[in-house]
């Protein structure tokens, strides 16, 4: 049975086919356990009424060795057909036509949101005094920005052509060292911004979260990142007038009727369950995440900012190695949930691989499918194990009373505790 999208709703049958990419390196060691744990959680939650039918699809080194290509068309077709899938880490091909398999998958399915939820698990070592205050969901735009890959290398004929155009037709005089500069283009569109911010607001509403913060550098890059901020606010006010209260409105009320009236309007809005839409400059945001992380809940940001922010926040809760992630197109329903780390060639075969990044991505997948109970069981099991000091080597060695377990021992304990 296929997962399908009907109007705004995902329709998930009781026995959906879910394609999975095992992954290279430690992918082989973690993926079977992740499937085993997800199956057990689903079985316990729905007494056999629901069950995932896993369908292996090939990508990466395994695909290259078996069928001679890094990303077979059948794999893309399977993800296209079944909407939802999960993947282990993939070796990046060196000197091949494809720059990165992850990027290829994202582009093929136009997965425009990179979603990274960040939270702390009690017991996990962190550099913060109050890691429990960090609980954010990062919505990173996945298809635009300086990451779009539109660039020309210094000294090439293409670069000369672009430079001539900029100088002669656009009167650009600000390139400091034109003869030796490489150039890149940063596209940021209304549509790209709106679909990202819309997804972030809908997520906040669904999960009853208090705010969505637009993180940008619009003070410097006025039309691109400034556009992101402007279009983001406009979308909130146009599409969610009854469910959001924006910083814009707050400032307008303050100007017209004074601070007290603005605070009163804000309090009325948040107590009635409206989501507060605000913005912050990216550098101030990074400071604030350390100084007052409790002020942030859902983050909507551009591609490059989102890349930095995801790793900083994950590191703050000690979870860089176990952070989950997903790439999603909320319009078509397509979503690929993934381990966010690489293939860890240095520990392959040592029984040390931590399955939690992929496992927590599996939890995100279950939530996306509406199978929250199964996801909740896995999260609760991990909470319990970490708080007792049980973990794989990467985490156990930093825990106060860490009890190191191998990949399979840890996975079995997760199942026992479901």
Binding residue for ligand NAI, selected from 31, 202, 297, 343, defined by CB under 6 A? 343
CB-wise, 89 or 232, nearer to ligand NAI?
A: 89
342 binds ligand NAI (CB under 6 A): yes
| Of 344, 374, 391, 399, the one binding ligand NAI by CB under 6 A | 344
Closer residue to ligand NAI, CB minimum distance, 143 or 246:
143
Q: Is 274 a catalytic residue?
A: no
324 near ligand NAI (CB under 6 A)? no
Quick check: is 283 catalytic? yes
The answer to whether 341 contacts ligand NAI (rule: CB under 6 A) is yes
CB of 328 to ligand NAI, least distance (A): 16
Residue 403's Cβ-count burial label (10 Å; 0-12, 13-18, 19+) is middle
Catalytic-labelled residue, pool 39, 43, 132, 307: 307
Contacting ligand NAI within 7-26 (CB under 6 A)? 26
Nearest distance from residue 128's CB to ligand NAI, in Å?
21
Give the shortest CB-42-to-ligand NAI separation in angstroms.
23
Nearest to ligand NAI of 204, 304 (CB atom): 304
Contact with ligand NAI (CB under 6 A) among 92, 193, 213, 379: 92
Instruction: Choose the catalytic residue: 49, 161, 222, 283.
Output: 283
**Which residues partner with 337 through β-bridges?**
86, 326
Q: Following DSSP, what letter does each residue of 148-211 receive, concatenated?
A: G--EE-TTSHHHHHHHHIIIIIT-----SSGGG--EE-----HHHHHHHHHHHHHHHHHTT-SE
Q: How far apart are CA 279 and CA 213, in angstroms?
A: 5
Tell me how many helices (H) and strands (E) the chain has. Answer: 15, 17
Contact assessment for residue 5 and residue 332, using Cβ atoms and an 8 Å cutoff: yes
User: What minimum distance in Å lies between the beta carbon of 315 and ligand NAI?
Assistant: 13
Please list every residue from 26 through 65 that binds ligand NAI, using CB under 6 A.
26
Taking CB under 6 A as the rule, which mask of x and - marks residues 102-121 in contact with ligand NAI? x-------------------
Residues with Cβ within 8 Å of residue 398, at least 6 apart in sequence: 124, 125, 318
> How buried is residue 191: exposed, middle or buried, by Cβ count under 10 Å (0-12/13-18/19+)?
exposed
Strands (E), 204-349: 211-216, 244-246, 275-281, 298-301, 324-328, 335-339
Kindly tell me which of 84 and 209 has the beta carbon lying closer to ligand NAI.
84
Nearest distance from C-beta of residue 26 to ligand NAI, angstroms: 6
> Which is catalytic among the residues 87, 217, 274, 413?
217
Burial letters 43-73, b for 16+ CB under 10 A, else e: bebeeeebebeeeebbbbbbbbeeeeebbbe
Q: Does 301 bind ligand NAI (CB under 6 A)?
A: no
> DSSP assignment, residue 398?
T
Q: Which is nearer to ligand NAI, 218 or 324 (CB)?
A: 324
For the four alpha carbons of 160, 166, 169 and 171, in that order, the dihedral sign comes to negative
| Candidates 261-269, 295-303, 335-343, 396-404; binding stretch for ligand NAI (CB under 6 A) | 335-343
Residue from 326, 347, 382, 396 binding ligand NAI (CB under 6 A)? 347
Which residue has 């060795």 as its token pair?
Answer: 65
- Residue closer to ligand NAI, measured from CB, 45 or 357: 357
Task: Kindly state whether residue 91 participates in binding ligand NAI, applying the rule CB under 6 A.
Answer: yes
CA 213 – CA 199 distance, rounded (Å) = 13
Tell me the C-alpha distance between 309 and 364, whole Å. 19
Please give the residues from 370 up to 409 whose contact with ligand NAI meets the rule CB under 6 A.
Answer: 394
192, 321, 362, 375: residue in contact with ligand NAI (rule CB under 6 A): 321
Measured between alpha carbons, how far is 374 from 52 in angstroms, rounded to an integer? 12
Beta-bridge partner residues of 19: 55
Q: Report in angstroms the alpha-carbon separations of 132 from 27, 294, 387, 396.
A: 30, 9, 13, 19
Least distance in angstroms from the C-beta of 394 to ligand NAI: 4
Active site residues: 147, 217, 283, 307
Residues lying near ligand NAI in the complex (CB under 6 A):
26, 89-92, 102, 321, 338, 341-347, 352-354, 357, 394
């Amino acid at each position: 049975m296929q997962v399908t999208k009907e109007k705004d709703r995902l329709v998930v049958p009781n026995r959906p086919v879910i394609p999975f990419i095992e992954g290279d390196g430690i992918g082989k060691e973690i993926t079977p356990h992740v499937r085993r744990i997800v199956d057990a959680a689903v079985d316990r939650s729905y007494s056999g009424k629901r069950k995932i039918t896993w369908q292996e699809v090939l990508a990466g080194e395994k695909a290259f060795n078996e069928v001679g290509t890094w990303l077979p068309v059948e794999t893309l077709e399977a993800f296209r057909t079944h909407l939802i899938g999960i993947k282990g880490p993939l070796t990046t091909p060196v000197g091949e036509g494809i720059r990165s398999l992850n990027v290829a998958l994202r582009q093929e399915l136009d997965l425009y949101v990179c979603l990274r939820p960040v939270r702390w698990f009690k017991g996990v070592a962190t550099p913060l005094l109050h890691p429990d205050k960090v609980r954010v969901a990062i919505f990173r735009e996945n298809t635009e920005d300086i990451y779009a890959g539109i660039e020309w290398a210094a000294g090439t004929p293409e670069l000369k052509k672009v430079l001539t155009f900029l100088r002669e037709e656009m009167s650009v005089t600000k390139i400091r060292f034109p003869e030796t500069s490489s150039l890149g283009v940063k596209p940021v569109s209304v549509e790209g911004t709106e679909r990202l911010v819309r997804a972030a607001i809908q997520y906040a509403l669904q999960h009853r979260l208090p705010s969505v913060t637009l993180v940008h550098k619009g003070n410097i890059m006025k039309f691109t990142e400034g556009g992101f901020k402007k279009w983001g606010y406009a979308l909130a006010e146009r599409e969610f007038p009854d469910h959001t209260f924006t910083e814009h409105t707050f400032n307008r009320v303050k100007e017209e009727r004074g601070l007290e009236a603005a605070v009163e309007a804000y309090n009325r809005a948040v107590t009635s369950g409206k989501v507060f839409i605000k913005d912050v400059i990216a550098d101030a945001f990074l400071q604030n995440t350390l100084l007052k992380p409790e002020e942030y809940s859902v983050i909507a940001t551009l591609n490059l900012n989102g890349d930095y922010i995801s790793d900083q926040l994950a590191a703050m809760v000690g979870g860089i190695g176990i952070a989950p992630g997903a790439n999603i197109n909320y319009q078509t329903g397509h979503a690929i949930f993934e381990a966010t780390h690489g293939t860890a060639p240095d520990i392959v075969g040592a029984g040390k691989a931590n399955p939690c990044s992929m496992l927590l991505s599996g939890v995100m997948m279950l939530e996306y499918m509406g199978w929250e109970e199964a996801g909740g069981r896995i999260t609760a099991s991990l909470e319990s194990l970490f708080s007792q000091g049980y973990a794989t080597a990467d985490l156990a060695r930093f825990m106060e009373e860490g009890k190191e377990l191998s990949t399979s021992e840890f996975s079995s304990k997760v199942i026992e505790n479901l």
